[in-house]
Amino acid sequence: MTDIVIYHNPDCGTSRNTLAMIRNAGIEPHVVEYLKTPPARALLIQLIERAGMSARDLLREKGTPYADLGLGDTSLSDDALVDAMMAHPILINRPLVVTPLGVRLCRPSEAVLDILPGKQRGAFVKEDGEQVVNAAGDRVLPA
């Protein structure tokens, strides 16, 4: 059994597609609905570092208090941005996936395929109808 964690928002199509691709590989991940159970500050910092990102890279603007909080100010430190994410978990972009092969913000959702240890077990079509995996379990590249 492979230990995979997805920081998931069930209201987000990208997050739902990512979760479905993990399951299409025959893996049942540990699902953390991060809006209900946000990661601890130290864990969030570790995830950002392991993903090779900055805190700003993980910030979500759309549908969040990003503008109201003045988070577009580029002089804000990573600590200040993490503070904002801790106070308002909706600011954490999703889905963030942790596997033995790394940590990745899976936007687009098919980015999860790069860090899954197993092959897809069949075709996968995203909710919007885009096919990303064929019947043989191979990634379909956009034309």
Q: Which residues are catalytic?
A: 12
CA distances from 36 to 28, 64, 120, 141 (A): 20, 16, 29, 35
Rounded distance, CA 5 to CA 98, Å?
5
Rounded distance, CA 119 to CA 17, Å?
16
- Express the helix, strand and coil content of the chain in percent, nearest 5 each: 30, 15, 50
| Residue 97 and residue 115 in contact, taking contact as beta carbons nearer than 8 Å | yes
What's the token pair of residue 24? 């299409």
Quote the Cα angle for 115-53-8, to 5°: 55
